[in-house]
Amino acid sequence: MADTYEFSKEELEQIEKIKSKYPEVQSAVMPVLWLAQDKFGHVDSDVQKLVADTLGLPRAHVHGVATFYTQYYKEKMGKYVLDVCGSFSCQVCGAQEIIRHLEEKLGIKEGETTEDGMFSIREVECLGACGYAPMLQVTNDKYVNHLTKEKIDKLIEDLKAGKEPEFESMPVVYHQTSDS
Amino acid sequence: MPEIIIDNVRYEYEQPGKVLQFMLDQGLDLPYFCYHPSMSIPANCRQCLVKAGTPIVDRETGKPELDEDGNPKIRYFPKFMTACSLDMSDGMVVHTHVTSEEVRRAQADNLELILINHPLDCPICDQAGECPLQILTYKYGPEGSRFEHKKVHKPKRIQLGPRVVLDAERCINCTRCTRFTEEISKSNQLTIVARGDKNYPMTAPGETFDDPYSLNTVDICPVGALTSADFRFKARVWEMAQTPSIDITNGKGCNVDLWTRDNLVLRITPRYNKEINDHWMPDEGRMAYRQMNENRVSKPEIKLSASEHSKTSWNNALMTFVEQIEAHKPEEILVIGSPHAPVEDNFLLQQFFNKLGVSDTLFSPHITPGKGDDFLITDDEAPNTNGCRMLGLGEIDKKKLEAELKSDKYKMVVILTDDLFGRYEIEPSITEGKFTLTFATNYNATTKAADLIIPVTCSAEHTGSYVSVDGRIQRTLPAKETLYSNRRLNLEMSLSRLDHFGTKFDNWVSDRNRIDCIPAWEFLVRTAYEMNLKLGFESSREIMAKISDELPALNGVTYERMDEERGIQLDLKQIPAENVS
Amino acid sequence: MAQDWKSFKPVLIPNIPDLAKIDVYEKNGGYSAIKKILTDDKWDSQAVISEVKEANIRGRGGAGFNAGMKWSFMPEPDGGPRYLAANGDESEPGTFKDRKIFEFNPHLFIEGCLIAAYAMKIDAVYVYIRGEYREFINMMDKAIEDAYKKGYLGKNILKSDFSVDMYTHSGAGAYICGEETSLMESLEGKRGYPRVKPPFPAQKGLWGRPTTINNIETLANVPHVINNGASWYKSIGPENHPGPVLYGISGHVNKPGVYEFPAGMKITDLIHEVCGGVRGNKGIKAIIPGGASTPPIRGDVIDGVTMDADGLREVGTLMGTAGMLVLDEDTDIVDVITRISHFFDHESCGQCTPCRDGTGWLYKLMSKINNGEGEMRDLDLLIDVCNKMEGRTICALADAACWPVRNAVERFREDFEAKCKKTVYAVA
């Protein structure tokens, strides 16, 4: 049986608030897809339908938007989606070794999800952390920078224990002489 | 007047507009895929690139700067422009492939890119023969491809809806179909999904593309990505003859083309008419091809018993009709015209029985309130309700019709092509004891009830005029032969390659598909001759000439004008309003 | 250069702890520029635009267009709404600077937006931030909330008759949404397809209304221009490309990161002095100076080259976002370019033919060569495919996809040839 999805009263109020930010309701598609994904963990076709019907928009329209943007999960993913940046700064700092290490560790290939539904690995495009390469993002949220094999091992252990990484502030670097 | 110079030729223009549309209006050629005159301009196929520039204007004098030869100096846009989205401006200079080698190369380049992920399966593609991609590639494309990699694979044979099938690999992402559902039919059922070279049009998951106008997307698809589930693999386009006609399934009078092969109508597509249907038509009208081919009455039939009819000769049918008329007084004959039959047939029916002394010819409109929309589907399910009204036929509803059919007043009933018994669910027993004659194209409840069935031509076989709900009179042309018509003799009939070169002895031509029927008016003229009534007409054209003489509302209406003006708008005030008694 | 970079004091992200907090920002002179404008009659909207135009803030999003000039394109108000979209999509590989403003100095950016809104008579500002920056979006939301509380946003700002609203809008993973018309489509809740221009955003932008789109860093420069004047601003860095710049440096350097210095820094200074040199003291193979779309240059041409429009043009590349990638001598440049091609193939929206199919073709060709299966003729084909794509599309993504490939094939020809099969054709 297909899961049934619905928004709570609070969420519907939140959606009204989102709608009020824009002159047209269509603009609420992306924020409401985000809201739905945060709640349900994905925006599969049923969730897309819920979003469309809640906003009173054509379902095809919401489907088109959901499939255009890569951060929306169009199917169920692992609890922790490990998006490893593969773009050039990370590439030249060893992103592929990080992915290989993750693959070995989790016993799955890039693009796959572990059988227990805990982890998915994806190679993604630049995440805007080029100075802290190689890096990955956990389920569209926290960045884990300066990855090493040891750091990966620790991350996986932590995640398995339900301990999610914390936000890591990467300061602007001030040149010594300029501050002196 | 402002002017634009295209390939060194000067053209004056009155209305501001886009370069591509202006060129098309001038009969000039420029390749394009995504542009459609009735929809928004996304300029995404990039096929209509031209080199364009505007005169350099001196800031001080406000006049164009001139070169040594006295010609205005031109500042060209730094990049090629898409003609579809480029606004014309006074003095603009445009170079197409005709005068620019660079543009010619750009067009070939673009085609090479379009084709790298296109399957090139023309031999099994329905679109082949009428495919803009195929045609433009032959005309403007490169000789071959240098793409030596695996093409992108996408879903194939996807039944998008009951009537439309998708092959996403053939899609070139022109977005005509999605724009159609957004801007024209407004069903919003289609979207482009995914991104980059993996994208293609699709419905939302679990949704079906059941838009009542869905098949228009098949027409405007510039490749074979969207095909008609019904017409798929039925025929090659070059085997068919294309005949202009009108949609007879509702009152709008959408202009259509009938596509025939071996005297079968295989598909119906819309024909452009700005005043009525633009480039579009409802899906329902396209299915009318089946009633033109199937379940046809061929050769007159006479009733043997309540459940049985027998074929009979035309001569016998005619003599039976004459006998029955002579056996009854005029006031004993109930004559019912038809909103499904053309003006000419209704007129002749009225005239014929007038001459016999029958004072009234009635008809019952075929209107289903709520069926229509505010686009091309009308409540009126018949093509000629207004034609009947103009002729002054008495308008009756179901109740009145039943009362008349039941009435002892009448001993004989004549029904022109209209399945009254079927659409009103009238019991056949209602006319018991009366002699009932019906003109009919197809078998139906009314033919079942009739004592004599006269098979008549349908809109695909005759020339007939119909007056739309909006008061526009238009005519049909014969598209398929009957036993008594001949493509090579009737100059109004169109010929296909098959018609041209095939002979009766070819195994792909058969007489089976020619129906033994004649136009209703012709049967009435023959009967009149037999009865010495003065009602001599040789063609429906002559009948129309007579009608336009007699009816002030139709003064000046001729077939020639209807053809040239794509139908004639009549004064709606001269058409009696609905007056169901 | 008017000022020695070593004595330059950062202004976009000064070294002040907790500057992201609104009261700290205020204590350090924050929101003084907008106060000045709202209280001094001298600063009508025309005067603000003129000053910003005079300062010649060149757009920090990549195109480098004079921001004040862009503002001046807005038509006269007609009573309907007008919008400012702040572009924080920041998705070009090598670029990670705007996030620093969100995290460390969001109020400077908000103040810049206020000034822009005042100058262009804007009704609402939408801050479009890439969806991956969830943390930074939260930070920005917090800053906006604080600014509302203090009366810097909303109705009758600082008791004047000037009102403006500000909202964040999260992207969801699409590089193309950094293109300004695509960003507008995305804000309108659609697939991020760039729009055909004309009409330009100033005529017909968000929801069909006049709209200006500026990069985050560009807007963050504005308060300083109002506070210190255009001539002060122009005294920083080269005349033709003035002001402070957030350099994001990544790759094979010892201390990668974001640094604020005047525009026009020497590439060698950035690498050796600022970033502590190349890792392992290796030589430099190549520099990609401003993000994935800017043409790579050889390590042996960078001596004396400055990071500004003119300096980089001389060596055949572009400033872009000043997100510089440094590649050491052991780098497989073909591999790097292949990955760049993968990026553009992945990020092409798929609207225009040349880009949709061309980026895929480029990537497939690059992969073939990178895997050692290419032939010499494939190098010519690469250039030819670029010729077919460049300048033929609605937006510049196709161009951006071609430049690295075309220039790498030309500038690192020997690396490409080394990976190609040496096919010998028999001569008849």
Let me know: does B36 contact B176? Beta carbons within 8 Å.
Answer: yes
Domain locations along chain C:
5-234, 244-328, 333-419
Strand bridging mode B568-569 / C83-88: unpaired
Q: What is the pLDDT along chain C (428 residues), one digit of tens a residue?
A: 445 899 999 999 999 999 999 999 999 999 999 999 999 999 999 999 999 999 999 999 988 999 999 999 999 999 999 999 999 999 999 999 999 999 999 999 999 999 999 999 999 999 999 999 999 999 999 999 999 999 999 999 999 999 999 999 999 999 999 999 999 999 999 999 999 999 999 999 999 999 999 999 999 999 999 999 999 999 999 999 999 999 999 999 999 999 999 999 999 999 999 999 999 999 999 999 999 999 999 999 999 999 999 999 999 999 999 999 999 999 999 999 999 999 999 999 999 999 999 999 999 999 999 999 999 999 999 999 999 999 999 999 999 999 999 999 999 999 999 999 876 666 65
In this prediction, residue C424 carries a pLDDT of 62
Report the interhelical angle of C106-120 vs C32-39 (nearest 10°).
Answer: 20
Strand bridging mode A143-144 / A136-138: antiparallel
Instruction: Report the pLDDT averaged over residues B10-30.
Output: 97
Q: Which CATH number fits domain C244-328: 3.10.20.600, 3.40.50.720, 2.60.120.590, 3.75.10.20?
A: 3.10.20.600
| Residue B44 touches partner A, C-beta closer than 8 Å | no
Distances (CA, A) of A37 to A72, A106, B148, B393, C94: 7, 24, 40, 65, 28
pLDDT at B70 over 90: no
**Residue ranges of chain B that CATH labels 3.40.50.740:** 301-466+515-541
Residue of B nearest to A61 (CA): B191
B110: chain C residues, CB-CB within 8 Å? 353-354, 388, 392
pLDDT at A180 over 60: no
Tell which wins on pLDDT, B534 or A178.
B534
pLDDT in tens, B521-543: 999 999 999 999 999 999 999 99
**Residue ranges of chain B that CATH labels 3.10.20.740:** 3-111
In this prediction, residue B574 carries a pLDDT of 76
Let me know: does C390 contact C405? Beta carbons within 8 Å.
Answer: no
pLDDT at B103 over 70: yes
Whether the pTM exceeds 0.90: the reply is yes
Shortest CA gap A18–chain C (Å): 10
In this prediction, residue B449 carries a pLDDT of 95
Chains near A, with 3+ CB pairs < 8 A? Answer: B, C
In this prediction, residue A172 carries a pLDDT of 87
In this prediction, residue C422 carries a pLDDT of 74
In this prediction, residue A179 carries a pLDDT of 42
Let me know: does C253 contact C278? Beta carbons within 8 Å.
Answer: yes
Reference C321, options A126, A158, B341; nearest CA is: A126
Q: What is the ipTM of this complex?
A: 0.95
Domain C333-419 has CATH 1.20.120.1690: no
pLDDT in tens, B280-337: 999 999 999 999 999 999 999 999 988 899 999 999 999 999 999 999 999 999 999 9
- Kindly indicate the confidence band of residue A178, based on its pLDDT and cuts at 50, 70 and 90: very low
Domain B3-111 has CATH 3.10.20.740: yes
Instruction: Report the pLDDT averaged over residues B569-581.
Output: 71
| Residue C277 touches partner A, C-beta closer than 8 Å | no
Round the average pLDDT of chain A to a whole number and report it.
94
In this prediction, residue B546 carries a pLDDT of 97
Instruction: Report the pLDDT averaged over residues B33-47.
Output: 97
pLDDT at B126 over 60: yes
What CATH number should be reported for the domain whose range is B301-466+515-541? Answer: 3.40.50.740
pLDDT in tens, A49-63: 999 999 999 999 999
Domain B117-228 has CATH 3.30.70.20: yes
**Residue ranges of chain B that CATH labels 3.30.70.20:** 117-228
Shortest CA gap A29–chain C (Å): 5
Tell me which amino acid residue C290 is: G
In this prediction, residue B90 carries a pLDDT of 95
Contact C94 A169 (CB under 8 A): no
Residue of A nearest to B209 (CA): A60
Let me know: does C127 contact C213? Beta carbons within 8 Å.
Answer: no
Those residues whose C-beta lies under 8 Å from the C-beta of residue B576, and which sit 6 or more positions away, are: B389, B390, B392
CATH fold of C5-234: Rossmann fold (3.40.50)
In this prediction, residue C394 carries a pLDDT of 97
Chain C residues 364-393 with CB within 8 Å of chain B: 364-365, 368, 381, 387-389, 391-393
Chain A interface, mutation test: which of B193, B197, B199, B208, most A Cβ atoms within 10 Å? B193
Tell me which amino acid residue C343 is: F
In this prediction, residue C2 carries a pLDDT of 43
In this prediction, residue B316 carries a pLDDT of 97
Instruction: Report the pLDDT averaged over residues B380-388.
Output: 97
pLDDT at B220 over 80: yes
Let me know: does B281 contact B289? Beta carbons within 8 Å.
Answer: no
Q: Which CATH number fits domain A9-68: 3.40.1350, 3.30.70, 1.10.1760, 1.10.10?
A: 1.10.10
Chain A interface, mutation test: which of C250, C285, C345, C351, most A Cβ atoms within 10 Å? C250
Contact B85 C196 (CB under 8 A): yes
Instruction: Report the pLDDT averaged over residues B428-450.
Output: 96
Contact B189 A48 (CB under 8 A): no
3 state DSSP class of C399? helix
Contact B204 A68 (CB under 8 A): no
Strand bridging mode C211-215 / C83-88: parallel
Let me know: does C103 contact C62? Beta carbons within 8 Å.
Answer: no
- Kindly indicate the confidence band of residue B500, based on its pLDDT and cuts at 50, 70 and 90: confident
Domain A80-160 has CATH 3.40.30.10: yes
| Residue B188 touches partner A, C-beta closer than 8 Å | yes
